Amino acid sequence: MKKKIMVTGVAGLIGSHLVEKLLKLNHEVYGFDVVDINFNRNLENIKNHENFIYFKGDVRSSEDLNLFFQSDASVLYHLASVVGVNKYMEDPLSLIDIGISGTRNLINMCNKHNVRMLFTSTSEVYGKNSNIPWLENGDRVLGPTNIDRWSYSTSKALCEHMLFGMHHKNNWPMSIVRFFNVYGPRQNPIYVVSKSIHRVLNGISPELYDGGNQTRCFTYIDDVIDGLILAATLESAVGNVINLGNTIENTVREVVNTILKASNSNLKITHIKTKERYGNVYEDIPRRVPSIDKAFSLLGWKPATSMEEGVKKTIDWAKKNDWYLDLNK
Ligand SMILES: NC(=O)c1ccc[n+]([C@@H]2O[C@H](COP(=O)([O-])OP(=O)(O)OC[C@H]3O[C@@H](n4cnc5c(N)ncnc54)[C@H](O)[C@@H]3O)[C@@H](O)[C@H]2O)c1
């Protein structure tokens, strides 16, 4: 059945793939983002689609949100956020402000009109909890406040508190997902997979931080989109926070080596010491692994794409898209 659906952060990696899928399912999508749609390649395939309506605005502005908000929509996917360790080191105030004021504005609007919200949170919420794998009710173990990295985790956790608080108070329908290292075509080349692919295909040596023994569970975009839609629509997800991530743990070194191999590249890895590049305000997380039992029991979801397959698909896509390889040049 055709539904009216709202998506903030629609021009980003996850938002743009989500909207493509929702349009394929024949829904009417209202998208919101700060970017100018005429200069954004992520929405190129769908910007003229008859069921896609785009609003340019800032989630911190109630005025902008009033123009966008559809009180008869079935759900709002709230994805807009500042993402990426470098970005929140560059602009720490915006990271917190966009997270907290933007989410509070949207919670108020959704709650007022009883519109369901799907909030996109992060595995960063668990911090450096060494009790692996991370269950949704696991502890948050964070470092000190002079380490910039923890501001993203803290701001997302505060948003989760706002959502849970309003859900408990008013029985307002909401669900939260926590993503684990999502990657795929179109991702801004500033994260480990996208940046390494971008560098290698441009003939530049990929970088490894502090030896690359940190582990991550890399989750391919198509798997994420399936889980996201289930979490935003199934009744079983209401009032829940759910991990969406791959369970196979890879070191960052393994991923970079997979990228080199899949690109038939013999470039050598450049080793970076983060203390030298970022000083003492940087802290890394040694292991990051989700439990996805809850995703499976509530949504019937588990990821289907291996890291090797996902990396190959992303490389194949990047090779066909010169504009992407030219980014940041
Ligand atoms: N990609 C991941 O691995 C990952 C992991 C954990 C959580 N998440 C969360 O998933 C969501 C989507 O992530 P993504 O990877 O697509 O990131 P992205 O950076 O590609 O997309 C975020 C989008 O939000 C928009 N945005 C930023 N500030 C805004 C503002 N003030 N008003 C309106 N729009 C604004 C940006 O322009 C961008 O298009 C985010 O909330 C992020 O925190 C992503």
**What residues of the chain score a pLDDT lower than 50?**
none
The 3-state secondary structure of the chain, one letter per residue: CCCEEEEECCCCHHHHHHHHHHHHCCCEEEEEECCCHHHCCCCCCCCCCCCEEEEECCCCCHHHHHHHCCCCCCEEEECCCCCCHHHHHHCHHHHHHHHHHHHHHHHHHHHHHCCEEEEEEEHHHHECCCCCCECCCCCCECCCCCCCCHHHHHHHHHHHHHHHHHHHHHCCCEEEEEECCEECCCCCCCCHHHHHHHHHHCCCCCEEEHHHCCEECCEEHHHHHHHHHHHHHCHHHCCCEEEECCCCCEEHHHHHHHHHHHCCCCCCCEEECHHHHHHHHCCCCCCCCECCHHHHHHHCCCCCCCHHHHHHHHHHHHHCCHHHHCCCC
174 lines ligand 1 (CB under 6 A): no
Ligand 1 lined by 11 (C-beta under 6 Å): yes
Nearest CA to ligand 1 atom 38: 12
- Cβ burial of 257 (10 Å; 0-12, 13-18, 19+) is middle
CB count in 10 Å sphere of residue 316: 11
Alpha-carbon span 45 to 29, nearest angstrom = 14
Report the half-sphere exposure of 295 (CA within 13 A, side-chain side): 28
Report which ligand 1 atom has the smallest distance to the Cα of 187.
20
pLDDT given for residue 228 in this prediction: 98
58 lines ligand 1 (CB under 6 A): yes
Cβ–Cβ < 8 Å for 221, 66: no
CA distance 192 to 285: 14
pTM, to two decimals: 0.97
Give the separation between CA 308 and CA 103, rounded to whole angstroms: 35
324 as an active site residue: the answer is: no
Q: Give 111 Cα–ligand 1 centroid separation in angstroms.
A: 22
Domain borders along the chain are 4-180+221-245+288-305
Residue 277, pLDDT score: 83
Per the DSSP assignment, residues forming a β-bridge with 271 are 208
* From the candidate CATH numbers 3.90.110.10, 2.50.20.10, 3.40.640.10, 3.40.50.720, the one assigned to the domain spanning 4-180+221-245+288-305: 3.40.50.720
In angstroms, what is the span from residue 11 Cα to ligand 1's centroid?
A: 8
pLDDT of residue 87: 76
188 lines ligand 1 (CB under 6 A): yes
Residue 10 Cα, ligand 1 centroid: separation in angstroms? Answer: 8
| Dist. CA 264 → ligand 1 center (Å) | 31
Determine whether the shortest distance from the Cβ of 177 to ligand 1 is under 6 A: no
User: Residue 195 has what pLDDT?
Assistant: 97
